[in-house]
Amino acid sequence: MNGDSITDVRGFLANLPGMVYRCRNDAYWTMLFVSEAVERLTGYRAEELLGNRTVAYADLVFPDDVALVNEKVRGGLEKGGHFNLEYRIRRADGEIRWVWEQGNALPNRNGDISLLEGYITDITKRKTAELRLSQMQRQSAVILQSVTEGIHGIDREGRLMFVNAAASRMLGYASEEMLGKQSHALVHHHRKNGALYPITECPVFKTLRDGRVRRVDEDYFFRKDGSAFAVEYVVSPTVDFSGTVTGAVVSFSDITQRLGLEEQLLQAQRMDALGQLTGGIAHDFNNLLTVILGNAELLEENLADDDDKKPLAGMVVKAAQRGADLTQALLAFARKQPLEPKVIDINELLGQIKPFLQRALGEQILVDLNCDDTLYRIHVDPVQLESALLNLAINARDAMNGSGRLLIRTENHWLSVSEAQELEVSKGAYVEISVSDSGRGIEPELLERVFEPFFTTKERGKGTGLGLAMVYGFVRQSGGQVRIRSIVNKGTTVRLFLPALIGLGRAVS
């Protein structure tokens, strides 16, 4: 090799970002040759490393990485004489740097590996960036797993690539059961009414095709057990550097509770509007009835000796009185009737009216009482309470077609803040009176309307639709609440919650 060639090689080695080396295959990696990049890489001059004059290269390896380096080099030499690895070194100034090394064995004439040669370069910037990216990925994963919204990561074909904890919890699957499965086939396969949901109509599928963000305010996903629940969700596309859609992210929330609260609010608003309307009508009608009833009674007295006309006047009086009873029911629903509350023992009241209820219901209906001996007293109008219980009993008789079992149960309740909010009453002590029958039940779609005035599930001409309205109005006016549950062909239970008295006063809210 002439002088120019040597100069060219030295120039090439000097311009390399890393260090070229040749060393003995010993415990010290005793350097026999290092390129000019050695000082830039290690902080030591070449003459300090060559022959281990100041420091051996093996001593620069970060202590925690020594075992790894020895294992990688030894393994590479045994398998083919080549090795590459990443590890840390401590420079002369004490700074820790990451390096990448690629080396080869140089066997002697006997085939023994006495020398090594290779290339070592600084990769600290890359490793720092990788570490930072890894930390960001871990932080992102923690955030995604912590949010209460369900998150699905979906590939271009609609397969689930990521599922966070909230999604697994809402859908009832373990994440490993979902990964790799088609999202639509797994959780979005049907509509609420049971009809199949074509994938081509699915907003997620459409976003995967056109890359548009879509927001769905109300839809239904299906759990592992087959049950459906209401959701709102947003589908956002994921794209690569060229703008090509590579998948989508679906974030969804269970809105079952919110829809229930909205329906309760709408129902309360409807009931309030009906209450205002019926209250106003009842007051005006009551004024007219007062005039009619007063004059009819005078007319009946004046016709006391007229056998032909007196019965007609009596019919007018009875009709006016019936109208007055109806207006009281309307006023009860509107919560505007005057009440005369008294402190009463419900168990004692039920014991007194049980024979009357039995006679009213007939011998084919068994009336049972199940009363709590420790029951609190309540402060209500006893006449209105009796009327409410009679209304419930008559409704039960009709639902049972005159044959069955009526159970009236009493018990104490202490409502927590959340329970009271659900019932729309103040927290504290309440007495529950439940009236259960074994009748035909009420269809679910009709339950929310049973307390509306003039609404009835009975046949035409067999009910005014004011009985339950009166019960509702009386209980609400007394500071309580009414709840009803029913199963078709199994029966109905109406539960009255009335504020209780503890000791000498009303239970403190």
Q: Quick check: is 268 in a domain?
A: yes
> What CATH number should be reported for the domain holding residue 481?
3.30.565.10
Residues 308 and 447 in one domain: no
| Helix, strand, coil share (%) of the chain residues, nearest 5 | 45, 30, 30
Residues 245 and 272 in one domain: no
Residues 391 and 468 in one domain: yes
Residues 176 and 212 in one domain: yes
Q: Quick check: is 227 in a domain?
A: yes
Task: Report the C-alpha gap between 484 and 492 in whole angstroms.
Answer: 7
Q: Quick check: is 134 in a domain?
A: no
Q: Quick check: is 142 in a domain?
A: no
Residues 293 and 400 in one domain: no
Residue 357: the pLDDT is 82
Calculate the alpha carbon distances from 165 to 170, 253, 315 in Å.
9, 13, 73
Residue 462: the pLDDT is 43
The tally of domains found in the chain comes to: 4
Residue 293: the pLDDT is 64
Asked which of 191, 224, 254 is the last residue of a domain, the reply is 254
Residues 315 and 393 in one domain: no
Residue 471: the pLDDT is 82
Task: Report the C-alpha gap between 319 and 210 in whole angstroms.
Answer: 71
Asked which of 239, 254, 269 is the last residue of a domain, the reply is 254
- Helical (H) or strand (E) element with 398: helix 382-399
Q: Quick check: is 132 in a domain?
A: no
Segments of the chain scoring below 70 in pLDDT: 1-15, 137, 140-144, 262-294, 296, 307, 317, 319-339, 452-467, 503-509
Q: Contact, 124 vs 155, CB < 8 A?
A: no
Encode pLDDT of 247-258 as tens digits: 999 999 898 888
Residue 6: the pLDDT is 45
Q: Whole-prediction pTM value?
A: 0.41
Q: Quick check: is 360 in a domain?
A: yes
Q: Quick check: is 239 in a domain?
A: yes
Residues 173 and 296 in one domain: no
Q: Contact, 57 vs 161, CB < 8 A?
A: no
Residues 88 and 33 in one domain: yes
- Residue 48 sits in which domain range? 3-121
Residues 100 and 204 in one domain: no
Encode pLDDT of 197-219 as tens digits: 999 999 999 999 999 999 998 89
Residues 380 and 499 in one domain: yes
Can you list the alpha helix ranges (DSSP code H) found in 108-242? Answer: 124-146, 165-171, 175-178, 183-187, 203-210
Residue 505: the pLDDT is 41
* Amino acid in position 278: T
Q: Quick check: is 37 in a domain?
A: yes
Residues 54 and 198 in one domain: no
Asked which of 312, 334, 356 is the last residue of a domain, the reply is 334
What does the DSSP assignment read for 84-130? EEEEEEE-TTS-EEEEEEEEEEEE-TTS-EEEEEEEEEE-HHHHHHH
> What CATH number should be reported for the domain holding residue 156?
3.30.450.20
Residues 354 and 475 in one domain: yes
